Amino acid sequence: MRARAFVAVLVVVAIAWSAQAAADVVQKPAGDWRLSEVGGKIGCTLTLTRNTGVAGFELKAPLACRRAFPPLKAVAAWTLDEKGGLVLSDTNAQPIVTFPNEARGHYEAKAPDGRVWRLDPLKAAPAVPGGEESPIITAPGGI
């Protein structure tokens, strides 16, 4: 009987730990990111929010950013793949560009237009007690 109780406690602890680990992973990329073309002169600010949408978490990009990086016009959401890569997708959750998980603190990926994009963190989204979303103030994102 004690063995069953011990196993049950282990299962509950494992479930709670994996849920917390998943929440921590999702929170890491949330915040403002500088999107630029590797070797280019154009850059702008994207905001990865913790607000959930149909295709993942909401992504905010200024109109000037979407004009400078045309594939962004179709991007509606962001998620993390099973390897920790950052995936920007459309409203149907179809990937537009995937940034592989890199331990260097930034992401780089080849965009659909053939250019290489780089994402560098600007600031993390503030932690909110109780899990409620706070307003995110986006830094100026013009080009």
CA dist., res. 94 & res. 116, Å (int): 20
More confident of the two residues 15 and 77: 77
Of 26, 97, 94, which is closest to residue 61 (Cα–Cα)? 97
> Global pTM?
0.67
Task: Give the model's confidence band at 47: pLDDT under 50 very low, under 70 low, under 90 confident, else very high.
Answer: very high
Q: What is the DSSP letter of 113?
A: T
pLDDT of the residue at 14: 38
Indicate if the pLDDT at residue 100 is higher than 70: yes
Write down the pLDDT at residue 102: 77
The rounded distance, in Å, linking the Cα atoms of 127 and 119 is: 21
Q: What is the DSSP letter of 131?
A: G
Express as a percent the part of the chain with pLDDT over 70. Answer: 65
Count of CB atoms situated within 10 Å of the CB of 127: 10
Domains of the chain, earliest start first: 30-125 (2.40.128.10)
The pLDDT of residue 54 is: 85
Query: How far from the centroid of its chain's Cα atoms is residue 96's Cα?
Result: 13
Q: Give the rounded percent of residues in the chain with a pLDDT score beyond 90.
A: 57
